[in-house]
Chains A and B, each alone.
Chain A
Amino acid sequence: MKRLKAESAETSQDESRSFEFERLFMEHWSSVYRVLHRLVGDPAEAEDLALETFLRLYRETEKQKTDGMNAGGWLYRVATRLGLHSIRSWKRREHYELTAGRYALEESEQASPAEILARQEERGQVRLVLSWMNERQSHLLVLRHSGLSYKEIAEALNLEPGSIGPLLVRAEREFEKQYRALAQEE
């Protein structure tokens, strides 16, 4: 009888965990996807990476309860890491540059093809620089320019909110330095 009760309690816990996970998914899916889409430039790859991010969250919820966990911050951190890791692969980067260019042409109705091409080249270089930079600095730049508040960034990266401003200044200086160096090379 005791065993039956224990099993029933376990089933109820599983259901509650599933429900909570679905709620988190519905709440964060769009924003996680958008960050990844801008980061990798390819909608299909962004969707795959976003699903992988949530799959990792699911595994995490199997290990610990999500009650005290900042799921949003966790998702942004993991998604950005997956995106940066993905664009580091030169084979994929080549693929992204092609597909991102194609999607940019479809999206932009007013700009001329030459303008779109120039913009895509520029974005490709920005992605490249982000993938080269120190991981924390890349995370800061991606999350801040994706619209997250200092508080949200601090939670995602386990930092003090007061440290975000100075870290952003340094990250942007480093980004600009590396971007200029890359532009001079090409």
Chain B
Amino acid sequence: MQKHLNDGELRAALDGELDARSLQHLETCTSCQMRQQQLQEKQREAGRLLAFFNPAEQTAPSAQRAWSRLSQKIMLQKEISMTKKWFSFPLVRFGFAALALLTLFLAFPGTRVWAGEFLNLFRVQQVQVVSVDFTGLEQLTGDGTLGNRFTEMIGDSVDMQQEPSEPVSVASAEEASELAGFEVRIPEGMTPSQINVTSGAAFTFTVDRAKSQALLDEAGRGDLVLPESVDGAEILVNIPSAVSIGFGTCPIPGSEVSGNTEQSTIENRYPDCVIFAQIPSPNVNAPADLDIEALAQIGLEFTGMSTEEAQAFTSTVDWTSTLIVPIPQNASVNEQVAVDGVTGTLIQRPSGEGPQFALFWAKDGIIYAISGLGSNAEQAMNIANSLP
């Protein structure tokens, strides 16, 4: 004789999911039938409350329209993957992330207004670091809903005129100079292990105030209010070709190793890798009446500065000529150093948190950055001081 049914089996019977043998027992067992009735009584209220999940009469939006939206998202994801690949080389990623953030941190005096409504506002002459709390930025660049919305907004707002190419490997500084269109410098007495050229990119970013404000609100920073005047402003960004020169054993640009491997593995695998990147100053054009100083203030406050700190910072920076490099708060030390006849910034970070050192400076319209995965920041100074 079969034993009595347990609550789970009785529940399955109510849902028409009980196997035939157990069902046969239930049909003949009064004790199980009584317990099933009690279970049904107990379950009735939960069933009533959850009944609205039954989708019987509900229609869904057109699958064709949804498919079209999804296809656009997939295309956008592919474009972003390409861009990510472009930034996958460690130094290129670290150094050029600053350029991507640059558009948020620009301001300019009215004296530089060109004829017409646009202003050529930016040419890098110096580099300055700013300590930021990356938590806010990680929210925007991560895989969460906010990150996805940010990605979508960027996708809707950016019109790419020129896509960056995959890095092209060349054999000499001369070849790199010819391909990149500026004079590439190689330190004397040092032999590079690789030289790569990445063609430039050009895009127009159109500010959508409503979407940007909604993102700030959703990130819990509704206290930061974007000026109405930014809506619809077009910012034209032209990033020239860049050259990266590797010394020691370095990852190949665009390879799986450089793009997808954990940072700790990269450090173990390439402890002596030092990369020297060179790129002419990008051109950034924006409408003359765009209050970029206010945007810079909001950007700084979003990254954790108080209103007073952000005001103090924005008032001391010459936004027309300064490349702002964001570095993580409390995780880096930076110092001003004399390099290549100008003042540069040397950043050192604790082990396990990305490149261990990076040296930035700008000279004659070219931005230079040297970064390494080892612990000896002297290497960067030696390279910089050996330049012809």
* B58 on the A face (CB < 8 A): yes
Establish whether residues A149 and B11, one from each chain, have CB atoms under 8 Å apart when the complex forms: no
* A98 on the B face (CB < 8 A): no
Chain B nearest CB from A83 CB (Å) reads 11
Establish whether residues A126 and B67, one from each chain, have CB atoms under 8 Å apart when the complex forms: no
Establish whether residues B8 and A166, one from each chain, have CB atoms under 8 Å apart when the complex forms: yes
Establish whether residues B17 and A145, one from each chain, have CB atoms under 8 Å apart when the complex forms: no
Chain A nearest CB from B192 CB (Å) reads 29
Cα(A165)–Cα(B23), bound, Å: 14
Q: A55-B74, A149-B17 are in contact. Are A33 and B54 (CB under 8 A)?
A: no
Chain A nearest CB from B198 CB (Å) reads 24
| Residues of B close to A164: CB separation below 8 A | 8, 12, 17
* A78 on the B face (CB < 8 A): no
- Within 8 Å by CB of B46, from A31, A85, A175, lies A175
Chain B nearest CB from A112 CB (Å) reads 18
- Within 8 Å by CB of A168, from B8, B61, B66, lies B8
Establish whether residues B74 and A86, one from each chain, have CB atoms under 8 Å apart when the complex forms: no
Establish whether residues B63 and A38, one from each chain, have CB atoms under 8 Å apart when the complex forms: no
| Residues of B close to A47: CB separation below 8 A | 61, 66
* A51 on the B face (CB < 8 A): yes
Chain B nearest CB from A97 CB (Å) reads 14
| Residues of B close to A93: CB separation below 8 A | none
* B43 on the A face (CB < 8 A): yes
Establish whether residues A26 and B63, one from each chain, have CB atoms under 8 Å apart when the complex forms: yes
- Within 8 Å by CB of B145, from A26, A86, A163, A165, lies A86
**Interface readout for B1-22 with A: 1 if CB under 8 Å, 0 if not?**
0000011111110010110000
The secondary structure that dominates the A interface is: helix
Q: A126-B50, A179-B49 are in contact. Are A30 and B63 (CB under 8 A)?
A: yes
| Residues of A close to B218: CB separation below 8 A | 91
Q: A22-B67, A51-B73 are in contact. Are A147 and B9 (CB under 8 A)?
A: no
Cα(A169)–Cα(B36), bound, Å: 12
Cα(A167)–Cα(B9), bound, Å: 11
Q: A33-B60, A172-B46 are in contact. Are A38 and B70 (CB under 8 A)?
A: no
Establish whether residues A166 and B49, one from each chain, have CB atoms under 8 Å apart when the complex forms: no
Establish whether residues B15 and A150, one from each chain, have CB atoms under 8 Å apart when the complex forms: yes
Cα(A147)–Cα(B53), bound, Å: 8
* B51 on the A face (CB < 8 A): yes
* B45 on the A face (CB < 8 A): yes
* A34 on the B face (CB < 8 A): yes
| Residues of A close to B7: CB separation below 8 A | 165-166, 169
Chain B nearest CB from A28 CB (Å) reads 10
* A157 on the B face (CB < 8 A): no
**Interface readout for A32-44 with B: 1 if CB under 8 Å, 0 if not?**
0111011100010
Establish whether residues B8 and A146, one from each chain, have CB atoms under 8 Å apart when the complex forms: no
Give 6 nearest A-B pairs by CB, closest first: A166-B8, A165-B8, A165-B12, A34-B55, A145-B53, A30-B60
Seen from chain B, the residues whose Cβ lies within 8 Å of a Cβ on chain A are 6-12, 15, 17-18, 39, 42-43, 45-47, 49-56, 58, 60-61, 63, 66-67, 69-70, 73-74, 77, 145, 148, 218, 220
Contact sample, A vs B, 14 pairs, CB 8 Å cutoff: A30-B63, A33-B60, A37-B55, A50-B66, A55-B70, A55-B77, A85-B145, A141-B46, A141-B50, A165-B15, A168-B8, A168-B11, A169-B39, A176-B46
